[in-house]
Structure 1
Amino acid sequence: MNLLPKSHKEFSDKDYWNKFFKKRGNKAFEWYGEYLELCGQLHKYIKQKDSILITGCGNSSLSADLYDVGYQNITNIDVSEVVIKQMNSINSHRTNMKFLCMDALNTIFSDEQFNVVLDKGTLDALMPDDSDETKQTIDKYFSEIKRVLKLGGRFVCISLLQSHILSKLLDSFCDKSWMFRVVRCHEAEERNAENNDGPTLPVFVVIATKFKAMPQLILEVCMAGDKMQRLQTPEELKTYVKTAQDTAFVTNGLAKTSLDEDNEVSLDLMQPGEDTPRYTLYVVDQKKTQAINKYAVFIVPQGRESEWLFGTPAGRRQLQDSARFGRLVVAVLRRGHKFESLDAVKEELAHAAKMLIPYGLTGQIPFLSLGSDVGRRVKIFEGHSEFSGDFVVEDVDVEGATHRRLVFLDNQFLVQSEAKLKSVKRKNKTKLVVDFGHISLYHSFMCVGVQLAKTVSTNVAVLGLGGGSLCMFLRKCYDDLKVTAVDLDPAMLEVAKDHFELQTDDRLEVQIKDGLDFLKDEVKKGNHYEAVMFDMDSKDRTVGLSCPPKQFLDNQVLDDVKTILTKDGHFILNLVCRDVDLQQSIMDILKRHFKHLTSVKLYEEVNEIVLATNSNKMYNTDDFEKAVKELNACARQKKLVDIRCVDLKDFLQSVTVIS
């Protein structure tokens, strides 16, 4: 049975509505939600003693519901004689409520007769387009509303706020004689989602309050919760509404379809009035044949978002494969916000979780996490670098231990430097200090390359200081080794000293200069190194290469590296490249400059460690095994580790000798 118009122009046609209500019978047709979903907003702006006019009432039960809870001064009008006859019959026992057949464009009411004019979908029906004819119709409608409203009265309009409708409302009511407010009604949207009533579009309540001339424009919006945000211009309001509608377009699409297994969709959730996301949601789907469960939300504790399992598409895919849900939403708690508890986070995410539920699913949504809390993230320091922009140093809890991290805010899901902290007693006081024996997995693999290059007196150049964890490990582990660290950014040296306990002396020197200039100068000076390490990030996000900067792989630069390496020296490269073709081209370039190459690919990490040498001796498993054992023995002797810093089995399984 065709209950909705074939053409949107029929919405404003009287004959259409007579036919509609004859077909519909006495069954109520609720545009944009029922009383239970709308009452939270309606009760804020309508008082029980108010004189209320409901325009285009249709056969909605809204007026009856309001009447039954104490709003008994209600007049309903509609252009359809059929529906007015139906409603008078249905509501005969509600003796004080009126149903009148009347055109809202030309009413017979007195000036300033009503405290409230309530419109639930009528404006949307009257304004299917923005043609001149339609605009003239709406001008008449709004003129009547303004005429019959008392001073201090409210025009309460429930609408989907298509762009042409919002523009017309703003043109007509957004001036100094009206306070204009838009509130999003999430309850109505959630009801549609739970009942699978078609697309879940944002439902808005517009409240235009009639005043005498005010000194300034009052324009407010509330897209979540109860907090109103004061805006300066109508364009700002249009942006807020359009953002909500665009997001709904995406979530509706996700509800109806499944993503390709290699794809995911991310959405940022923000609190009203804030410029930074509070949450980022990643939506990952799995083939129905592989899924045991239907749908869940996984909450990543604070500080864990940079881990491979949660911080990369491949990791999130593995997480979903392990959980075996048809759809998994991975929720990341963003930096710079306070989260009270896991239950509070679940409550905040409840609406978004419902909007992303696959079509046809009902019931309670399971929320998963790693534990019973939201994790801990404490800001230790924040600063600004001329080269890297804003950054923070923060302490986070990871599996019962505190880790200190340096993060550049232009790439918040990448940890630039990390150090594990340990408790020590000094003068009867417990203090957290850096555990120099704990270095990242990829740094430990790079140190195997240093062990391969080690001679009686070893010089190592490290391009890229960061927090200095790699340099401090080398300095602490080897007595007969000198480290020359190079970094372009003086701010990083201060951070490393102040927050990561970097100690410079005759065995650990830091030069603040461009790494390219350092290599050229060392060539000119004739200095040589047993190992040259590249461990610096790229600021260019467009080339798919995060480490090192692309210019450090130019032919001339690699020639300089070869020149300053000793005969049996090793070039040790931390390579982070997500572009497969670019990664292969980098390997081809390295092959042209070095006789022998080895790749150490880290499991569950984006890093790949490349070892290169022009020694006559090829890389081989025996030498790697010996180097790992010697490195572990040295680290134990210096009490940097209890057992090992490199797992021999893991290392050998990760090694691929290329040439």
Structure 2
Amino acid sequence: MAVSSELEGLQDVEPSRFIAFSFPNPLLLLDHASDPYAHGGHEFLRVAVLDHSSPHPSPRTAAMLVPAGRHRDWIFSTRAGHLHLLLASRSQCSHLSRLILVGPELSAPSPSRVVVVAAAARPDPDPAHARLLPLLLALCPRDAFGGDAIPDVPLLSFHDDLLRLAPVKVVAGPVVGEMVVEDVAVDCAPRPAELRRRLRFKRMPFLVQTQVRLVRQLSPGDSLMLDALDEVGGGSLQPEVGGELVQPYLQAMAAGLAVIAPSMDESFRLGGKPRCLCAGIGGGALLMSIRMGLQCDVLGIEADGVVLDVARSHFGLVEDEFLQVRVGDAIQMIQDFAHQGDPDMNFSAIMVDLDSSDAICGVSAPPLEMTKESILLASRTILHRDGAFILNVIPPAADGSFYKGLIDVLRHVFSELYEINVSNGENFVLVATVSPVETILADSSGSVLTKLRKLAGDFLEHITRI
């Protein structure tokens, strides 16, 4: 096990450094009830170390055990996932600059369906922490031992809302790389658990690109709800399309259309259909909801044709006369539409759901190119005079000025600007209008607003002018 040179290099914190190695499993000496991987009998463990910058003069080190059965999940097995874990863990451990992940080797067998053990039912972490502590201390930077003190290396916990997880298909696209379709059971307490299908990219494993409900004929709260994941691929689980959106940020994006609801109602009264350009398709949940729930004419643009294939085969995306898709660079197509001046390329709304392809700084959206004034001007050019530009934003954690700068340029290009805080700690939706808007939700009896309330939940009440 030739890791001595790498371990020696870990004496100092070096931002962006990532190493992973095998280590003899000290947890084998634990009794069965205390071993988090008791059913594996793994001779070796995978140990992964990631450094990240911290402004604090005394950066801290922490560790985390990979949840049982999820060691191949890209959240825990890739550098991008590790980085997001580190950044997210700073709420548990301030000034964290080094996160050590410990779990089974990636070559270890992985169950086809993971039953996630509830936190209350997991083994007491203290015995495992004690067995791992000599290794964890050896992986601390030397600055952590200032004044001959023994550093505290806490064992952090990971929690999400999954109850079960079953991978359905892994494919690779020429643009986004590897992606996974998975069926999951989600804890929606106090409501009953829900079965959902989701799409994730390996380059940003924490970011769920698309999530839709799976429909099965069961009574609410039926215990067979979770067991239904055993039928993956059997055809009994089908994606629900066109109804209420599952992901809060997509609900907020749909709610942004409320700003131009009177104009959309007028289009319907005149016998037309409001046209929406969706930059970024993913699994197509937003497109299908706008097409079926609002009866709009939708054009979607997706950079990767394999993503489109997955949307059609696994998420219920169906093209027709009023829902068309194209493969290509959405930003370039917006510029091309603006330069061509084609009257058919005039939209009531442009809805941008594009994430940055640079995972080094963690999850962020949109790409920097989308925030350039020239691109925003091109977008305005192809919008109807009463149109709106709706943008999903995840400000990068490493750049506190990004969001303010984006707001400034949008204010410069457009007439009015509105914000919807998704309140999930990540997403904001910005809505910029070509023309001034007199009132929002003044007449709640309009057809579009009535339909939006079914798609977007309570987000219509959270639209704020900024």
Q: TM-score range by the shorter chain?
A: 0.5 to 0.7
| 1:331-372 CA-partner distances (Å, limit 9, x unpaired) | 9999994367749963899524653799899xxx9999789x
User: What amino acid maps onto 1:504 in structure 2?
Assistant: E
Q: Indicate how the Cα distance of structure 1 residues 587 and 278 shifts in structure 2: closer, same or farther if over 3 A, else same.
A: closer
The question of whether the paired residues in 1 share the 8 Å contact of 2:444 and 2:450 is answered with: no
Secondary structure at the counterpart of residue 467 of structure 1: coil
Q: Is 1:572 equivalent to 2:365 in the alignment?
A: no
Show the counterpart of 1:438: 244
The answer to whether the 8 A contact 2:255-2:456 is kept is: no
**Counterpart amino acid of 2:175?**
F
SS in 1 for 2:207: coil
What is the Cα deviation at residue 602 of structure 1? 1.4
Matched-pair contact (CA < 8 Å) for 1:403–1:421: yes
- Per-residue CA deviation, residues 418-459 of structure 1 (Å, 9 max, x unaligned), is 11112149xxx9932222223111111211222433232201
Residues 312/186 of structure 1: CA separation in 2 closer, same or farther (3 Å cut): closer
1:356-403 CA-partner distances (Å, limit 9, x unpaired): 799899xxx9999789xx831111111001111111000111021111
Residue of structure 1 equivalent to 2:288: 472
CA contact (8 A) 1:424 1:432 kept: no
Counterparts of 1:480-629 in structure 2 under 5 Å?
481-523=296-338, 524=340, 525-526=342-343, 527-542=345-360, 546-578=364-396, 579-617=399-437, 620=439, 623-624=440-441, 626=443
Q: Indicate how the Cα distance of structure 1 residues 625 and 547 shifts in structure 2: closer, same or farther if over 3 A, else same.
A: farther
Superposed displacement of residue 315, structure 1: 8.2
Please give the residue correspondences for 1:207-606 in structure 2 after superposition, counting only pairs within 5 Å. Answer: 227=43, 265=61, 267=63, 313=87, 317=91, 337-338=110-111, 342=117, 346=123, 350-352=127-129, 355=133, 375-399=163-187, 400-424=193-217, 431-436=236-241, 437-439=243-245, 440-453=247-260, 454=264, 455-456=267-268, 457-479=273-295, 481-523=296-338, 524=340, 525-526=342-343, 527-542=345-360, 546-578=364-396, 579-606=399-426
Instruction: Quote the Cα distance in structure 2 between the aligned partners of 1:545 and 1:320.
Output: 20
- CA–CA distance in structure 2, aligned partners of residues 490 and 462 of structure 1: 15
User: 1:115-126 to 2 correspondence within 5 Å?
Assistant: none
Give the fraction of aligned pairs with identical amino acids, expressed as a percent: 23
Match of 2:14 in 1: none
Which runs of structure 2 are paired with 1:171-210 in the superposition (5 Å)? 184=24, 186=26
Cα separation, partners in 2 of 1:605 and 1:522, compared to 1, 3 Å: same
Q: Give the Å deviation of 1:478.
A: 1.9
Deviation, structure 1 residue 330 = 12
Q: Structure 2, unaligned stretches of length 5 or more? A: 9-21, 31-39, 138-148, 188-192, 219-233
Change (3 A) 1:378 1:545: closer
Distance 1:228 1:538, change over 3 A: closer
Aligned 8 A contact 2:281 2:301 in 1: yes
Task: Give the C-alpha shift of residue 320 in structure 1.
Answer: 9.0
> Retained in 1: the 8 A contact 2:303–2:330?
yes
Q: 1:366 to 1:464 in 2, by over 3 A?
A: closer
CA gap 1:521/1:381 in 2 versus in 1, 3 angstroms: same
SS at match of 1:431: coil
Larger Rg: 1
Shift of 1:616: 2.8
- 1:599/1:611 contact within 8 Å kept: yes
TM-align CA RMSD: 4.9
The answer (yes or no) to whether the contact 2:74–2:202 under 8 Å persists in 1 is no
C-alpha distance after superposition, 1:473-509 (max 9, x if no partner): 0111123x20000111101110100000101001100
TM-score, with length taken from structure 1:
0.47
2:226 corresponds in structure 1 to none
One-letter identity of the residue aligned with 2:458: D
- C-alpha distance after superposition, 1:618-644 (max 9, x if no partner): 5x5xx14656985563268xxxx5xx7
Measured after TM superposition, the shift of residue 517 of structure 1 is 2.9
Cα distance between partner residues in 1 of 2:445 and 2:423: 18
Measure the CA separation in 2 of the matches of 1:377 and 1:331.
21
SS of 2:378's equivalent in the other structure is helix
Unaligned 5+ residue runs, structure 1?
1-160, 167-181, 191-223, 230-239, 251-258, 282-304, 322-328
Shift in Å, 1:162 = 7.8
Q: Greater relative contact order: 1 or 2 (C-alpha under 8 angstroms, separation 6 or more)?
A: 2
8 Å CA contact retained: 2:387, 2:435: yes
Cα pair 1:538 1:546 within 8 Å, conserved: yes
AA aligned opposite 1:433 = Q
Contact 2:391–2:429 at 8 Å: present in 1 too? yes
Distance verdict in 2 for CA 1:391–1:350, change over 3 Å: farther
In 2, Cα distance between equivalents of 1:502 and 1:571: 23
With over 3 angstroms needed to count, the CA separation of the structure-2 counterparts of 1:543 and 1:520, relative to structure 1, is same
Q: For the residues of structure 2 that align with 1:388 and 1:563, how far apart are their CA atoms?
A: 29
